[in-house]
Amino acid sequence: MLNDIENKSEEIEFKEDSTNIENDLKEVAEEIKAHKPLSESDELVSTEDKLQKELTDIQDKYLRLYSEFENYKRRTIKERVELFRSANQEVLEAMLPVLDDFERALSSMKLTAENKSLKEGVELIYNKLKASLIQKGIKEMEVLGKPFDPDFHEAITKSPAPSEDLKDKIIEVLEKGYFLNDKVIRFAKVIIGA
């Protein structure tokens, strides 16, 4: 009988232990369910979101880089065109006094009737030089009778105006002004009517 009591007490202890174990297992199972890892579809959605964000960032960087490159191309093309337009500026500026000398020679030759062939030769050379300069982009300023503009003219002096409508306007040009492709390369030296 003592044996039966011992067996029964072991059985009760075992049942209590197994109940405790079952309770412990249930608690662990609930904790596992509460902290379950992401399912495969959740992982895919998370990975897809990360990839989508990365793709958006890369596209944004690409657009910025493309814009910068396009701006660089436009700027360098503009600089190149400007360089070509004004590449010979110093040479052309050096030719302007020669053109002035030709004009002075022609005006003094008009006063004399001698050496008609010499006069025609000088006119021919003058016209050829002037045509070459025009072809390279040199343009003479038209200033006579126009209002004084310090952006284009250099006033040497004021002189009494021959008429009231020429007051504060250019009445005489001492040295012609020139443009090179719409850029002033020599200011016109003028006398203003007072």
Q: Residue written as tokens 């070459």? A: 132
Query: Could you tell me if 156 and 191 lie in one domain?
Result: yes
In degrees, rounded to 5, the angle at the alpha carbon of residue 113 between the alpha carbons of residues 107 and 115 is 95
Residue 6 within a domain: no
**49-63 mean pLDDT:** 90
Query: Could you tell me if 157 and 120 lie in one domain?
Result: no
Query: Could you tell me if 78 and 100 lie in one domain?
Result: no
Query: Could you tell me if 141 and 130 lie in one domain?
Result: no
Residue 107 within a domain: yes
Residue 152 within a domain: yes
Give the pLDDT band of residue 40 (cuts 50, 70, 90): low
Q: Which residues pair with 192 in a beta bridge?
A: 158, 170
Query: Could you tell me if 130 and 141 lie in one domain?
Result: no
* Domain hosting residue 115, numbered range: 90-134
- Render pLDDT for 108-142 as a digit per residue (tens, 0 to 9): 887 776 777 788 888 889 899 899 888 888 898 88
Q: Is the pLDDT of residue 34 over 70?
A: no
pTM: 0.53
Residue 26 within a domain: no
Q: Residue written as tokens 């009591």? A: 5
- Render pLDDT for 140-152 as a digit per residue (tens, 0 to 9): 888 888 888 888 8
Query: Could you tell me if 144 and 178 lie in one domain?
Result: yes
Query: Could you tell me if 127 and 142 lie in one domain?
Result: no
**18-29 mean pLDDT:** 67
Domain total in the chain: 3
Question: SS3 of 1, please?
Answer: coil
